[in-house]
Chain A
Amino acid sequence: DAEITQSPRHKITETGRQVTLACHQTWNHNNMFWYRQDLGHGLRLIHYSYGVQDTNKGEVSDGYSVSRSNTEDLPLTLESAASSQTSVYFCASSDPITSPGEQYFGPGTRLTVT
């Protein structure tokens, strides 16, 4: 069965360190998204991609970067982790042709920056 996975599921890091969160999907979806979830803010879009070599900034992109070298993966990098980036991060994907608004989410990565 097709799926979307995230790793690690939990991560503790120190302020100033570079951190990369992995996202891998086997749906063969061109659209991929990264969100952060914080209490009272819902899901906020960090970065998104509509295909290989395409990346776009979302509403809360400062301090984050992504790259898309293949269809399956969209890693999220925190260049210099800050305590404000402590959050739960979700990756999602969707098919731009059949149902672009129907996003399939991964299980999330809980990141703590100390």
Chain B
Amino acid sequence: QQQVKQSPQSLIVQKGGISIINCAYENTAFDYFPWYQQFPGKGPALLIAIRPDVSEKKEGRFTISFNKSAKQFSLHIMDSQPGDSATYFCAASTYNQGGKLIFGQGTELSVKP
């Protein structure tokens, strides 16, 4: 019940295309859903996050879509650029768990020029 399942494991997109990464969770107590971006040799860094009281959050080219009834959320990267090539992790947590995050397995995104 604590798992977060992420797909696909890897993704290749042409420059200018849309990258879509999906995550599903089981624990309905989760109330915070962040996405982290990790470049090779670096630690993950928070990219964008959403709470379940909204269905979508957009920051620049990055959008989270959230479907509470389906217990799914996804990251959309519009106009994908080679600089977006990185590993992306979805995660989930409950506020009263002190920010302890459960991470998905990660998606390695490669944007081809």
A50 to B99, CA, bound (A): 10
Interface of A is mostly: strand
Which residues does chain A contribute within 8 Å of B34, judged by CB atoms?
101-102
User: How far does the Cβ of B89 sit from chain A's closest Cβ, in whole Å?
Assistant: 6
A41 to B104, CA, bound (A): 8
Q: How large is the interface on B (under 10, 10 to 19, 20 to 34, 35 or more residues)?
A: 20 to 34
B68 part of interface (Cβ distance < 8 Å): no
Question: Which B9-37 residues have C-beta < 8 A from chain A?
Answer: 9, 32, 34, 36
One of B45, B95, B104, B105 near A100 (C-beta < 8 A):
B95
Q: Which 9 A-B pairs have the closest CB atoms?
A: A100-B99, A105-B43, A101-B32, A43-B103, A42-B105, A42-B103, A94-B99, A101-B99, A42-B106
Chain A residues with CB under 8 Å of chain B are 31, 33, 35, 40-45, 48, 50, 58-59, 90, 92, 94, 96, 99-103, 105-108
